[in-house]
Amino acid sequence: MSTAAATATATDLNPPWNCYLLVTTNTLGPQKTYVGITPDLDRRLRQHNGEQSGGAAATRGHSWRRAAYVRGFPNHTAALQFEWAWKHRTKHYKGRGDPLVRRFKALQELLTDSRPTASAIPYSEYLTPLEVILEEGTELPTL
C-alpha cells in the first residue's frame, strides 16, 4: 500500500474532530447555546435543526446556527474531554449574563490551561495547535 493510500485510510478511520458552539436563531424568548463534537460540522447542524435525523434531544424545537468551533483535536477522546470541560466550566457562570458570553468566557479559560481535564493529554502534545474559528456573523463578545 502506498504512503498516500495509508494516509487516506488512516484519515478516513480517524476523521478530524471539532468541538462546536451553537446558538439559537429565534429572537423570541431567551437565547440558548449548545456545545457538542462532530467530525462533520454541516451534517451535525442539519441534524440539530431537524433537517436530518439524529439531533440531540436538548436542541429539539429550536432553530440553530453555529457560532464557533474549535479544531485540531488529535482524536475522538480528546474532543470529548474538551467538550465536557467546556460545558462544565460554563456552569461556573450560570445566571451571570448572556449565554453566549458565558460560553466564550469558559472557552477562553479552557484554552489558557495546559489541558482540558486532569487525565487528558496536554495541548502541547497535539500534532496541530487548537484553532478557534468564529462563524460569519459571530463577533467575539467582550469578556
Residue 63 lies in a domain: yes
Residue 65 lies in a domain: yes
**φ/ψ of residue 97, rounded to 5:** 95, -165
Residue 143 lies in a domain: no
- Given this model, what pLDDT does residue 27 score? 72
Domain range enclosing 103: 10-134
- Given this model, what pLDDT does residue 128 score? 93
Residue 45 lies in a domain: yes
Write out the chain's pLDDT in tens, 143 residues.
Answer: 444 444 444 445 678 999 999 999 987 778 899 999 999 999 999 999 989 888 788 888 889 999 999 999 999 999 999 999 999 999 988 777 889 999 999 999 999 999 999 999 999 999 999 999 999 888 777 76
Query: What's CA 51's distance to the chain center, in Å?
Result: 20
Residue 15 lies in a domain: yes
Residue 110 lies in a domain: yes
Residue 57 lies in a domain: yes
- Given this model, what pLDDT does residue 11 score? 47
- Given this model, what pLDDT does residue 60 score? 85
Q: What is the 3-state secondary structure (H, E, C) of the chain?
A: CCHHHHHHHHHHHCCCEEEEEEEECCCCCCCCEEEEEECCHHHHHHHHCCCCCCCCHHHCCCCEEEEEEEEEECCHHHHHHHHHHHHHHHHHHCCCCCHHHHHHHHHHHHHHCCCCCCCCCCHHHCCCCCEEEECCCCCCCCC
- Which long-range contacts does 113-120 make (Cβ < 8 Å, 24+ apart)? 116/78, 116/81, 116/82, 116/84, 116/85, 116/86, 117/81, 117/84, 117/85, 119/81, 120/78, 120/81, 120/82, 120/85
Give me the number of domains the chain comprises: 1
The CA R_g of the chain, rounded to the nearest whole Å, is: 16
Residue 3 lies in a domain: no
Residues 101 and 141: beta-carbon distance below 8 Å: yes
